[in-house]
């Protein structure tokens, strides 16, 4: 029987906020290329967080995101103006939430709810506010003070410290399987939102629960 959870900590990008909601603007700039660009952009954005963490060359997530965009455009042969960089950087501040997010969070309000994200505070605060979620979370925690990225264990420890809740009473929710595995390896009870029916990452720290979307979460906690 699992310990009763006191808090739920959510990943931001891909879990609450749909990073691919930029596809429409990308398609406006480069017709027909939006989906391919958005996929490669996200892939490189994440790779750069892992590579920079290993290299100990932290740069904040807003700049890493732009680096991923520049790479993806170059790889796809798309010319990218500085105005387009600015527009797409801004688009990250008003990403849409997945359709079930607000209702699911409403059903979880008996728990302490928080966000723990790679995002810089200058990105997280606006995206949370623009989605109308400001009052929902007791803490919006960024990796930024640590100058490193997930899945470094120190990052997950930030949530323990900030919430004042022991790690075995914290549930961690992420659609990024490697993030759910990192959180499991650290000691959280983990919920992987497997939106695309993907296989589990082979990291010897499989998530405790695998669900299709956040609507399934309230029945499990």
- Asked if 194 interacts with ligand LAC (CB under 6 A), we say no
Q: Which residue is nearest to ligand LAC (CB)?
A: 13
Q: Report how many residues bind ligand LAC under the rule CB under 6 A.
A: 10
Please provide the DSSP assignment of 81-148 as one string.
Answer: -HHHHHHHHHHGGGPPBPTTHHHHHHTTTTSEEEEEESS-HHHHHHHHHHTT-TTT-SEEEESGGGT-
Binding mask 101-140 for ligand LAC (x = CB under 6 A): ----------------xxx---------------------
- In this chain, which of 179, 184, 207, 211 binds ligand LAC, going by CB under 6 A? 179
- Asked if 18 interacts with ligand LAC (CB under 6 A), we say no
Q: Give the Cα separation of 167 and 7 in Å (integer).
A: 9
Closest CA to 190 of 142, 134, 150: 150
Of the candidate spans 6-14, 64-72, 102-110, 203-211, the one that interacts with ligand LAC by CB under 6 A turns out to be: 6-14
Give the nearest distance from C-beta 128 to ligand LAC in angstroms: 12
Query: What counts of helices (H) and strands (E) characterise the chain?
Result: 8, 6
Q: Which residues bind ligand LAC (CB under 6 A)?
A: 11-14, 117-119, 150, 176, 179
């Amino acid at each position: 029987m699992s310990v009763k959870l006191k808090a739920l900590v959510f990943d931001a990008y891909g879990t609450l906020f749909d990073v691919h909601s930029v596809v429409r603007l990308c398609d406006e700039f480069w017709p027909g290329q939006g989906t391919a660009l958005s996929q490669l952009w996200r892939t490189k954005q994440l790779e750069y967080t892992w590579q920079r963490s290993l290299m100990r060359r932290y740069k904040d997530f807003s700049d890493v995101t732009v680096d991923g965009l520049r790479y993806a455009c170059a790889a796809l042969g798309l010319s990218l103006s500085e105005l387009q960089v600015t527009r797409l950087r801004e688009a990250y501040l008003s990403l849409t939430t997945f359709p079930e997010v607000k209702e699911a969070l409403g059903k979880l309000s008996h728990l302490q709810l928080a966000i723990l994200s790679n995002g810089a505070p200058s990105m997280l605060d606006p995206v949370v506010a623009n989605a109308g979620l400001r009052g929902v979370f007791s803490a919006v925690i960024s990796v930024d003070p640590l100058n490193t990225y997930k899945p470094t264990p120190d990052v997950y420890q930030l949530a323990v410290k900030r919430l004042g809740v022991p790690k075995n009473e914290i549930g961690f929710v992420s659609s990024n399987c490697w993030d759910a595995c990192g959180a499991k390896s650290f000691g959280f009870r983990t919920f992987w939102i497997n939106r695309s029916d993907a296989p589990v990452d082979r990291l010897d720290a499989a998530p405790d629960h695998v669900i299709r979307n956040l609507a399934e979460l309230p029945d499990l906690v």
